[in-house]
Amino acid sequence: MKTLKIGDTVISRHGPGEITKIELCEKPGHKYGIDVKEIYVDLVDRCVFDLNNGHFAYGDQIDFVSV
């Protein structure tokens, strides 16, 4: 199963950015959750991602970039 982890590059509405923090939330759309280092891609919609470009994005607002 594919995962998304801290350090991966994603694209959000704020442009490309590297994930610096992942919070797994109880429900989609919540802002705060528990810190995790890696998440299965099927749980991305329940996460909030902090990015190194100074913005955050909800899981449904990002696209994955494969390197």
What is the per-residue pLDDT across 21-40, written as a single tens digit (0 to 9) for each?
A: 999 999 998 999 999 999 99
**Counting Cβ atoms within 10 Å, is residue 44 exposed (0-12), middle (13-18) or buried (19+)?**
buried
Q: How far is CA 41 from the centre of its chain?
A: 10
Q: How many helices (H) and strands (E) does the chain have?
A: 0, 8
Whole-structure pTM value: 0.90
Look at residue 19 and tell me whether its pLDDT is greater than 60.
yes
Instruction: Name the average pLDDT for the chain.
Output: 93
User: In 25-66, at which residue ranges do the beta strands (DSSP E only) sit?
Assistant: 34-36, 38-40, 47-51, 56-58, 63-64
Q: Which residue has tokens 């996460």? A: 47
pLDDT value at residue 65: 77
